[in-house]
Structures are given as C-alpha cells and as structure tokens.
C-alpha cells in the first residue's frame, strides 16, 4: 500500500476552525440558541459574499488508462463567510462530485446542499477546471464557478453565481481510495425573489 501525504502549513488552523464551526452548524444547543435564531433579522433580497468552504472528502479513484483517471466521492464541511457573519455563515455543506483528470486537463464538478443553522437550505452546482495539471494532476488550483440554484425557507428561489478556486490542505492516497481536506474560496453575488 502506497500512502502519499501533502500537508500545508495552514492545515491545523483550517481544521480547528472547521471542527468548531461544524459543531456549531450541526448541533442544537438548546432553547437559547433557537430563541436567538428566531430574533435574527430577515435576510436581504440580494447581496455580495466572500466565503471559504472547508471540506473533508473521500472517494474512489479509477485509472482508465495512462494519464487518465476518474474520481468520484463525497464531502462534508462548513461555510465560513469572510465577514464573520451574514449569508450562509457557519452553514454545513454536503456534496457529491466527480473529478476527471486527463493529461493536463482537470475538471472538478459537484452538486451540494448547504444548510444554515435554522435548517434552511441552498442548492448549488460547482464547475471548476484547469488545463495546467501536468503529470500527476489533481484538483489543486482548479477554478471556475459555483451556481446557486434555489433553496428552501428563507432561501426559496435564491439564485446567484460565485467565482471559485480550490486548494488542497491535505491529500491521502491508499490504493484506489483518495481522501483529504481542502478549501473552496468563493466570491460572488446572490438574489432571491
């Protein structure tokens, strides 16, 4: 079994932040939390946002031929709005996606559901790519867009787009299993009817 690990200096900071935010986003801490959310002001009709999505992913790699492989897998994580509050801050995210690595060309496509602390959801599609991967290409450095495609509750009918880039924090390979952590950086706009 061959295991290769690539770890960035920022890994500890991102993982600690992600763990704390995921706990806040996923667990109900009693009536005082519910009352605070009930008093939150309604969200605006539109806005700009910058955020990072810190994600843990795991999936299977299929080598199709020399220089061409295909990965499919799932991820879970947390959204951190750069403002420290506001649109989707501390929301949880689950996603399912595929990565096609063919020579230097890499495509990274996924669908995701983002749920805020009230349980209201935003549905989105990730479409990223790179033509500079070279030998041993991965999704590191892919860029593209995230499209907001609707939602539930206060996000019903939400639409929007964000420029997106991806970078690895850590990647581990064990045979056909590839897992790790990464960060999607988003910068975009949203609106609801």
Burial of 134 (0-12, 13-18, 19+ CB in 10 A): exposed
Q: Are 95 and 104 in contact (CB under 8 A)?
A: no
Domain-embedded: residue 42: no
User: What pLDDT was estimated at residue 41?
Assistant: 58
Q: Which parts of the chain register pLDDT below 70?
A: 1-42, 132-138
Domain-embedded: residue 36: no
Q: Which among 93, 78, 87, 41 has a CA at the least distance from the CA of 191?
A: 87
End-to-end CA distance of the chain: 53
User: What pLDDT was estimated at residue 138?
Assistant: 65
User: What pLDDT was estimated at residue 126?
Assistant: 96
Domain-embedded: residue 34: no
Give the total number of structural domains in the chain: 1
Q: What tokens appear for 88 in the block?
A: 């989707």
* 3-class secondary-structure state, position 33: helix
Q: Which among 17, 64, 51, 22 has a CA at the least distance from the CA of 163?
A: 51
Q: What tokens appear for 53 in the block?
A: 């999505």
DSSP code for 65: E
Q: Are 122 and 88 in contact (CB under 8 A)?
A: yes
Domain-embedded: residue 71: yes
DSSP code for 136: T
Would you say the pTM of this structure is higher than 0.85?
A: no
DSSP code for 13: H
Provide the domain limits for residue 13.
3-28+47-191
User: What pLDDT was estimated at residue 31?
Assistant: 40
CA 155, distance to chain mean position in Å, is: 18
Q: Are 46 and 191 in contact (CB under 8 A)?
A: yes
| CA distance linking residue 93 with residue 21, whole number of Å | 11
pLDDT digits (tens, 9 = 90+) for 59-91: 999 999 998 999 999 999 999 999 999 999 999
User: What pLDDT was estimated at residue 9?
Assistant: 38
Domain-embedded: residue 41: no
CATH label of the domain that carries residue 63: 2.40.160
Domain-embedded: residue 150: yes
Domain-embedded: residue 127: yes
| CA distance linking residue 182 with residue 7, whole number of Å | 10
Domain-embedded: residue 39: no
């Amino acid at each position: 079994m061959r295991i290769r690990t690539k770890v960035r200096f920022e890994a500890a900071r991102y993982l600690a932040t992600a763990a704390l935010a995921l706990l806040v986003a996923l667990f109900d801490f009693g009536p005082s939390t519910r009352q605070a959310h009930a008093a939150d002001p309604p969200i605006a009709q539109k806005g700009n946002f910058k955020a990072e999505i810190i994600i843990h992913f795991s999936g299977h790699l299929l080598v199709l031929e020399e220089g061409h492989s295909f990965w499919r897998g799932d991820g879970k994580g947390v959204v951190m709005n750069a403002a420290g509050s506001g649109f989707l801050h501390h929301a949880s995210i689950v996603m399912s996606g595929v990565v096609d690595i063919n020579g230097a060309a890499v495509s990274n496509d996924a669908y995701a559901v983002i749920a805020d602390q009230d349980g209201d959801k935003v549905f989105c599609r990730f479409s990223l790519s790179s033509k500079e991967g070279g030998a041993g290409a991965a999704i590191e450095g892919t860029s593209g867009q995230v499209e907001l495609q609707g939602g539930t509750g206060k996000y019903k009918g939400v639409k929007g787009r964000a420029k997106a880039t991806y970078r690895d924090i850590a990647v581990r390979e064990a045979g056909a299993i590839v897992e790790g952590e990464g960060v999607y950086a988003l910068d975009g706009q949203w609106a609801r009817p």
